[in-house]
């Protein structure tokens, strides 16, 4: 499991080294930065509602709430890369929230300029293994059927996935006890 003092590293498809660590209370500004670098379409796919223009106070309030995790029921990872100027920038975040005994809902956000590089896939994979280490047996998500990127992310997980289609959405369950 990754903690705030450790970092996991991997190489994205474009050759950049991506560093991942657990996020926490000091990371609200980083979460806001990721959100600001997501297009309206990416926000819609992630949050299942149009979020073209969001008031800064709302954005900050939600980022602070997410960053101050309730360690008994929430866990999150944040990924970084070096920007063109050499400065470290946040590129994505993945999080789980406990919904029942041994079950957690998962979500992922990725800046638009870092999509399609395997970062979301690796973030979700790291989150899934960490969830298993934390004692979760099942991860759930409700995702749009017209979101091929998130389907690629979930289908790349090495665990059994069950999909229940309901209109334009699907509810999925990832069984962390059954590797495929």
- Cβ 33 vs Cβ 90: under 8 Å: yes
CB 174 within 8 A of CB 137: no
What pLDDT score does 157 carry?
96
Look at residue 158 in the predicted model and tell me its pLDDT: 96
pLDDT(49) > 50: no
CA-nearest of 155, 162, 121 to 140 is: 162
Distance CA 96, CA 37 (A): 21
Q: What does pTM read for this prediction?
A: 0.88
Q: pLDDT (tens digit, 9 = 90+) per residue, 122-156? A: 999 999 999 999 999 999 999 889 888 889 999 99
The pLDDT > 70 percentage for the chain reads 86
Average pLDDT over residues 83-90: 87
Whether the Cβ atoms of residue 177 and residue 143 lie closer than 8 Å to each other: no
Can you tell me which residue has the tokens 């960490």?
A: 130
> Rounded CA gap, 162 and 172, in Å?
6
CATH topology of domain 8-179: Aminopeptidase (3.40.630)
pLDDT for residue 180:
83
For the range 41-48, what are the long-range contacts, defined as Cβ-Cβ under 8 Å and sequence gap of 24 or more?
A: 42/110, 42/112, 42/115, 45/144, 45/147, 45/149, 45/150, 46/107, 46/108, 46/109, 48/142, 48/144, 48/169
Residue boundaries of the structural domains of the chain: 8-179
Give the pLDDT mean for 9-20.
95
pLDDT at 44 over 60: no
Residues 6+ apart with CB under 8 A from 177: 137
Encode pLDDT of 90-115 as tens digits: 999 999 999 999 999 999 989 989 99
Q: DSSP 3-state assignment of 134?
A: coil
CB atoms within 10 A of CB 72: 6
Percentage, residues of the chain above pLDDT 90: 57
Of 3-7, 33-37, 125-129, which gets the smallest average pLDDT?
A: 3-7
Task: Give the least confident one: 17-31, 43-57, 66-80, 125-139.
Answer: 43-57
Region of poorest pLDDT, from 11-20, 80-89, 128-137: 80-89
Across the chain, mean pLDDT equals 87
């Amino acid at each position: 499991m990754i903690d705030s003092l450790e970092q996991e590293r991997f190489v994205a498809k474009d050759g950049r080294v991506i560093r991942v660590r657990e996020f926490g209370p000091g990371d609200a500004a980083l979460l806001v930065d990721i959100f600001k670098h997501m297009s309206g379409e990416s926000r819609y796919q992630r949050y299942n509602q149009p979020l073209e223009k969001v008031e800064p106070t709302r954005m900050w309030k939600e980022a602070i709430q997410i960053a101050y995790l309730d360690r008994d029921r929430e866990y999150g990872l944040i990924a970084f890369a070096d920007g063109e100027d050499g400065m470290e920038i946040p590129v994505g975040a993945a999080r789980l929230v406990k919904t029942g005994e041994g079950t957690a809902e998962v979500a992922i956000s990725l800046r638009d300029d870092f999509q399609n590089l395997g970062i979301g896939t690796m973030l979700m994979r790291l989150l899934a293994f960490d969830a298993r280490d934390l004692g979760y047996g099942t991860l759930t998500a409700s995702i749009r059927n017209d979101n091929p990127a998130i389907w690629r992310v979930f289908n790349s997980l090495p665990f059994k996935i069950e999909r229940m289609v309901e209109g334009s959405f699907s509810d999925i369950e990832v069984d962390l006890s059954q590797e495929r």
